[in-house]
Amino acid sequence: MMDSATRTAAADRTVADAIPDRAASDVSGMRLETLRKRADFLRAASARRQGMPGFLLQARRRPEGEAGQAIRVGFTCSKKLGNAVTRNRAKRRLRALAREVMPGVARPGWDYVLVGRPGATVERGFAELRADLAAALARVHGSSREAGK
């Protein structure tokens, strides 16, 4: 009984910790849009890349007149990850990761693509994936030449 009560309290704290982050992202006005067109994925693939243990992040800054200032995110998992169940699970984890981390760290006017890695995206701990995404975004934007523009 003590274990289930402890787990329930920990789950409540986790949910309570997540709610202020979502509320803060709504106040900041940054919204995530999903990339759907193949051309957008190809443009992101030809831009910056940052490999992490759990996934590959591809990022590109959109030209000023193109598609507003929203943060656009795409997700892809190839058949190398496994069967459809495994690929869908990997994409669900990447979507949850993006919803949690991107509004606070990603930059408006950029396109991002998260590419799943075989084994790692599904098996790696979510806290580790969260840290990986924050580090990847910092590396992508830390070496940004566009920061002065």
Among left, alpha and beta (phi > 0; psi -120 to 50; other), residue 67 is left
Per-residue pLDDT at 148 exceeds 50:
no
Closest listed residue to residue 146, CA positions, set 88, 24, 59, 25? 59
pLDDT in tens, 44-82: 999 999 999 999 999 999 988 776 788 999 999 999 999
φ, ψ of residue 46 to 5 degrees: the values are: -90, 0
Angle between helices 126-142 and 84-105 (to 10 degrees): 50
Q: Out of 18-22, 28-32, 54-58, which region has the weakest mean confidence (pLDDT)?
A: 18-22
State residue 68's pLDDT score.
Answer: 75
pLDDT in tens, 75-109: 999 999 999 999 999 999 999 999 999 998 999 99
Q: Write down the domain spans for the chain.
A: 1-28, 31-148
Among left, alpha and beta (phi > 0; psi -120 to 50; other), residue 132 is alpha
Is the domain spanning 31-148 CATH 3.30.230.10? The answer is yes
State residue 1's pLDDT score.
Answer: 44
Mean pLDDT of the residues in the chain: 81
State residue 29's pLDDT score.
Answer: 53
Distance CA 62, CA 69 (A): 9
State residue 64's pLDDT score.
Answer: 81
Q: What is the pTM of this model?
A: 0.75
